[in-house]
Amino acid sequence: MTDTNRDHRTDGGNAVDGDASPFDIVSEYEETEADKLRKLYDAYVYTPIAIIWTDWRARIGFTIMLGYVLMGVVGPTFVEQTEVLEGPALAAPFETMEYPLGTDNMGRDLLSQTIYSTNTILKMVAAGATSTVLIGTIVGSIAGYKGGMTDTVLSSITDVFINIPGFPLVMVLGLMFDDVLLGNPWAVGLLLSVAAWGGLARSIRSQVLTLRQESFVESSRAMGLPTRTIVFKDIIPHLMPFVVINLTNAGRRVIFEAVALYYLGILPFQNLNWGSILNLAYGANAHTRLAALHWFLVPMVAIVVISIGLILLGQSLDRVFNPRVRARHEKTTAEVDDEVEDGHTVGGL
C-alpha cells in the first residue's frame, strides 16, 4: 500500500523520508555555526598562541609586554599614587619592602611613580604607533595601487613629511599646544606621529607596486571590485608582517621621543612619568651621587626593558602572519589534510 503523504525510499537499507524534518534542518544549521565558530577560534586564537608558544622570542617579548600592560592598567588599582614626604628621602632599593624600588629626594615612592608612568606611556604608544602605521599603510597602499596622478600627489605629500625634521617639528608644536597636551597622553601620542608616517608610506608603496601585478589582484580588478575592497582585502593582508614589525618600531620611537621631550622640559606634565623623573633626577645630580643613583636608574631600566620586549615581540610576530607557519599549527587545516590522506588511502584500496 502506497502512502500518499510521504515518499518513503530506502537508501543502502536505511529509510529516508522525502520531506526533511525541521529539527534536522535546525540541527544541520547549528552544526554549521559551530564549525564556523571553531574555525574562527582556530584561526584567530589558537593558532597565534601556538605559534607564539613555540618561539622563545615571542614568549619573552609577550611576557614582558603583558607585564607592562598589567602594571599600567591593573597596577593603579592596587597601588596608590605617591605624594611628597610619603617616605624617607632617597631610601635605597629593597631597603624596606614598603618602598621596594626606593624613593626620590622628596620621599616619593619610585615603584608608584613607575606604575603610573607606565599607564601614561602605554596610552602614548597606543595613540602614536597606531596612527603612524594606519596613515602610512593607507597612504602607501593607495598610492602604489592607483598610480597616475593619485600616486604623484600622495608621493609628493609623503616626500614633504619625510624631509621635514620630525623631532624639531614636534618640539615646536609641543610648545605651541602645551595647553592641549597638558595631562593628555593620547594627544601627545598623536603629536609624535605627525611626521613619522612618511617613511612607512614610502616602503608600503614600493611593496604594493609589486603586489598589484599578482594574479589575485588582477582577478579582483577584472571582476570590477572597488579600489577600497582590493586594497584592504587583497593587498594589505599580504603586508601584515611588514606592518606589524613597523608597529612595534613605531611604539619604541614614541617611547624614546616622549621621554626625550619630557626630559628636556618641552612637554608640560601634571603627573610624573619616566621622562619627567629623569629630568628631576638629573636636576638633583642623581647620576653623580651613589646614594641617589637608583633614582636615575629605575626609569632607565623601565625604558630599556619595554624596548627589548617590543623588539622581541616584533621579530616573532612575523611568524604569526606567515601562511606556511600558520598552516602547520591550525587544527582545521590538519584535519582537512588527514581527511585527504584517508581518502587517498581508501581510493588506493
Whether 141 is in a domain gets the answer: yes
pTM of the model: 0.78
> Tell me, what's the pLDDT at 321?
72
Cell numbers of 290, please? Answer: 651613589
Whether 117 is in a domain gets the answer: yes
> In 3-state terms, what secondary structure has residue 286?
helix
CATH of the domain at 126: 1.10.3720.10
Mean pLDDT over each residue of the chain, to the nearest integer: 82
pLDDT at 188 over 60: yes
pLDDT at 343 over 50: no
Whether 31 is in a domain gets the answer: no
Give, in order, the Cα–Cα distances in Å from 196 to each of 36, 130, 312. Answer: 40, 11, 22
Whether 158 is in a domain gets the answer: yes
> Tell me, what's the pLDDT at 15?
45
Range of the domain at 149: 56-317
d(CA 224, CA 279): 58
Give, in order, the Cα–Cα distances in Å from 9 to each of 1, 22, 24, 162, 266. Answer: 14, 19, 17, 74, 85
Minimum mean pLDDT range among 17-26, 75-84, 182-191, 218-227 = 17-26
pLDDT tens figures, 136-153: 999 999 999 888 899 999
Minimum mean pLDDT range among 12-21, 59-68, 277-286 = 12-21
Whether 85 is in a domain gets the answer: yes
> Tell me, what's the pLDDT at 310?
92
- Count of domains for the chain: 1
| Residue of 301 and 340 predicted with greater confidence | 301
| Residue of 9 and 239 predicted with greater confidence | 239
Whether 13 is in a domain gets the answer: no
Whether 328 is in a domain gets the answer: no
C-alpha count within 13 angstroms, C-beta hemisphere, residue 283: 11
Nearest to 136 by CA among 231, 246, 241, 213: 246
Whether 215 is in a domain gets the answer: yes
d(CA 154, CA 212): 17
